[in-house]
Chain A
Amino acid sequence: MKVVVFVESRDGQLKKASLEALARAYALSGNQDAEVAAVVIGEELSAVVEALKQRGAAKVYTAADVQVKTYHASLYAACLVAAAEDFGAEVVVAMATPMGRDVTARFAAKTDSGLLTDLVDFQVENGVLVGGRKPLYAGKVIAKMKYKGAGKYKVASFRVNTMSVPESLPGAAETVPLTLPQAPLAADFACTQVSSTGVKTVDLSEADIIISGGRSLGGAEKFKILRDCAEVLGAAVGASRAAVDAGFASHDMQVGQTGKTVNPSLYIACGISGAIQHMAGMRTSKIIVAINTDPEAAIFKVADYGLVADLFEAVPCLQAKVQELKQG
């Protein structure tokens, strides 16, 4: 099965989640790197292309000559169309990141293709991709989704951290410059700037470890104890909505139904009660640790390990113990 996989780069670096996309594409192809082609778009692609070697794809379509430096949905979708056509793809995959979701939806509408979003696995029957499972209602229900009808391609985006990525796979990642149909871009639509909150953060939805704080932190400056601990753990910092609404944390840190859905190997909830809307965003974490002073807190029902303790005491302690562990 021929698969085209959308790869994301940021500032000339390959996005970590994209390696998972490649591993998915390779598995979908029936472990045939010759059947997998990656697509990368951007100005400075040499480092990205280098990082794509031995990652499951024999080919990499590079769109370096695009007219924009920043993300442009319809242009990126046009690059995907050009690559899918040239490669004779049956399936187009991406990760269900903000960009991956956006570009696959535009692509599916452009090509009249079936799109399944946020899949956690896939089903292949007789060499044909038939569907996959995805969470609905913030993980309260799992739906088995299927493609039907006469879509041009089968398009899928996969939830991040739902498979382990092998260290290396076959695939020479030979570059093929992508020739784009010269469709003029609307002059009055552009992403002119990408700004950053300044704090260099690990993407929550990509993080392997997350430490989150709730209302009980009591102030924005108190989040520092979580950030310090996170640094030692190599973790990202998350927050409950109550903490965000109180102004202790920014909205992009919010985990839950109206925030981010995360899927790390380790989620440490500090002073979070475990409201259903919060759990909706983190219940699929592999291991959940809860630190809470209230032994009756609902969060303990989903926690693998619970500590009835004051977070202001437990978190610095955790930081010290992990530091010790890391120093061997």
Chain B
Amino acid sequence: MKIMVLLKETADTEAKIEIDPQGKQLSFGAQKPIVNPYDEFAVEAAVSLKEKMGGDTEVIAASYGPATVKDRMMRALAMGADRGALVVAPSGEALDGLALAQVFAALAKKEDVQMIWCGKQAIDDDNMHMVPMLAEKLGWGHVNVVGAMEWNGTDGFTNLAREVDGGQTEHYTAKLPLVLGANKSLNKPRYAPVPKVLQAKKKPFAQLSVEDLGLNMETLLAGVLTEVDSLELPPAKPAGRMVEGETVEAMVSNLVTLLRDEAKVL
């Protein structure tokens, strides 16, 4: 069995974001980029399933991006993925979610994987596109925002809990092949001790081009159907005010009046 985990490089959540004067490019200061935090839950899910399955189960960590993404992918290899596959992006060519789904679908076919894990969303664009789009391109089923799972021991899950709104959870039974999106509640990503981090560097790592996957960049770019036109910072919020009062009761009383008469939200 082969399991693929998709990783995305994102800016650190603490990074100070700046936009160039043309409103086209973002910069993130000195902060190093990170692996999208949700992807770590995906890696943990894949590696823990591999441990359950035993045998010749293989976990492949995959990504699309500049060659430097390799450094980020080492985290997955240190956590227990067996090898890396990075589809190297030609510089300056941005793919949207749908075009990217084509790339990963081609990689999944080439590798003949039966299960793909992603983070439920990436914390940069928060789209939640990849799981459903990739599943559709492969003709597989998908469950995104998985918060709990029970493997049936052979070829599927007796429960995949998809966390939706209002305290509700949808429970799925599903057989492979599947694309699954991990939520935070699914597990606790393991800590990788130094020896594992060192071992990770020696694991097989392939750098591929889109042509290696039987695709060509021109067609892929023609399939990009959305783009960022320009970027701006959100308008700064005017400073608020402190609500005063002799006692807490007086403060709250003033607050309620302000909420009703000034803010008009009560």
Chain A residues near B (Cβ < 8 Å): 70-71, 73-74, 77, 97-99, 101-103, 105-106, 108-110, 112-118, 131, 134-151, 186, 188-206, 209, 233, 250-252, 257-258, 261, 265-266, 276-277, 280, 283-284, 286-289, 295, 300-310, 313-314, 317-318, 321-322, 325
Contacts and interface: CB of A to CB of B under 8 A. Distances in A.
Chain A residues touching B, majority SS? mixed
Given A70-B170, A143-B231, A306-B240, 5 more contacts: A77-B136, A108-B129, A110-B136, A143-B230, A189-B172
A141 B17 contact: yes
Given A102-B128, A148-B226, A266 B259 contact: yes
Contacts, number: 267
Contacts of B260: 325
A32 B178 CA distance: 41
B103 interface: no
B26 interface: yes
B243 A116 contact: no
B11 interface: yes
Interface string B142-164: 10110100000000100000111
A317 B248 contact: yes
B265 A265 contact: yes
Contacts of A137: 11, 17, 123-124
Given A148-B226, A313-B248, A102 B132 contact: yes
A145 B183 CA distance: 27
Nearest to A324: B256
Contacts of A250: 167
A314 B226 contact: no
Nearest to A259: B184
Given A144-B230, A199-B167, A250-B167, A309 B174 contact: no
Given A105-B128, A135-B234, A141-B233, A149 B224 contact: yes
- Which 8 residue pairs are nearest across A and B when measured between Cβ atoms? A114-B225, A109-B136, A197-B167, A188-B175, A105-B132, A189-B141, A151-B225, A109-B133
Given A149-B222, A251-B147, A191 B242 contact: no
B86 to A, nearest CB: 23
B136 A287 contact: no
Interface in B243-266: 243, 248-249, 251-253, 255-256, 258-260, 263, 265-266
User: Considering residues B226, B251, B265, which has the most beta carbons from chain A within 10 angstroms of its beta carbon?
Assistant: B226
Contacts of A200: 167
Nearest to B161: A195
A300 B259 contact: no
A305 B252 contact: no
Contacts of B226: 114-116, 131, 145-148
13 contacts: A115-B97, A116-B226, A135-B126, A141-B26, A141-B232, A142-B232, A194-B169, A195-B171, A265-B265, A284-B234, A307-B252, A307-B255, A318-B255
